[in-house]
Chain A
Amino acid sequence: MQRKLIIIASLLISSFYSGVVHAQQTTKLAPDQNPRYLESEYKYVRNADTLNSLHGTTIQNTYKAYDWYEAKLVRRQQNREWRHQERLNGYYDSPSWGLYGGYSYPYSSFGYGWGNGYGNRWGGWGGRRWGGRASIGIGYGW
């Protein structure tokens, strides 16, 4: 069975090759033209439509250049989104951090918060941020 398959395949390949050769021999060549030009022509005729559809267009093959200032802005934006998401998840909504509430340190053993006299809807200035996340910096509220 396998041998038959091999024979059929070799017959097909040889007939295709002989067809190509025959076609090349029967077509009149231009001076100095490569006699095997049809092999290339068959290859590209199949892809011509796809390639030519890009004519007159700009192929966007851009890269990301590192820009310190832009990276800083992106970082800020990401932090803002992250905090917004945390708020949506109720992370800041514990009763001790409610509007006008006093400040406390629900998670922290080293948290530090202050100034909640005009606290916002999720707590006062920075206390939670310092305590809960153990990050360095001064939180802010509005």
Chain B
Amino acid sequence: MKLNKLLTVAAIAVSGMLIASCSRQVTRLSTDETIDISGNWNNSDSRMVAADLTDKILNANWINTHQEEHQGKKPVVIVGFVQNKSHEHIDAETFVKDVESAFIQTQKVRLVQGGKKREELRAEKADQQTNATVSSMKKFGLESGADYILQGSINSIVDAHKRQKVVYYQVNLELTNIQTNEVVWIGEKKIAKYVKN
């Protein structure tokens, strides 16, 4: 009788442990923590690129040069597209947004909306022409024109043999004067990883 009880308790304990070991575990992490799992592009890479390029673009000479040439006016920037020519799917928005955010937070650079979001804004303006009160209606033709466009590219080189692999990423962002096509700033971030399977 006693043995039976013991066996039952043991069986319940073992099954409990089995269920616990099979269930999914989720652990919250700090976004600053670096955890490399597959060796592919990950959040740490994106964070490193954002930090490095933000620092470089905000401390480069182009802002002062622009202000000297334009009676102290802040430069207006629009974000163009980034070409991912690497071997992995990488969305540049994860680090470009950080750069944009730094523009606004530091108040050194003015940012104008582009792409689909700008289309949406114009559509909203068009809607206001017939639906909003005259005093609150926003007019067409009063948008701020960008002085510079921020464009970029992501490239990679993979050197792999058997279970070893070295992956090299190069992220470039460049700022071009829209009026003159002159490139006023280029920033790059290089990342290399050794992966052993």
Contact = CB atoms under 8 A, between A and B. Distances in A.
Interface size range on A against B: 10 to 19
B82 to A, nearest CB: 5
Interface of B is mostly: mixed
B115 A55 contact: yes
Contacts of B82: 57-59
A97 B163 CA distance: 38
A136 interface: no
B79 A55 contact: yes
A63 interface: yes
Interface residues of B, number: 32
A2 interface: no
Given A67-B158, A68-B160, A69-B165, A56 B93 contact: yes
Given A66-B160, A67-B158, A69-B160, A61 B117 contact: no
A67 B160 contact: yes
A86 B78 CA distance: 56
A56 B114 contact: yes
A67 B88 CA distance: 13
Interface string B110-147: 00001111110000000000000000000000000000
A-B residue pairs, 5 tightest by C-beta: A55-B114, A55-B115, A65-B158, A65-B87, A56-B115
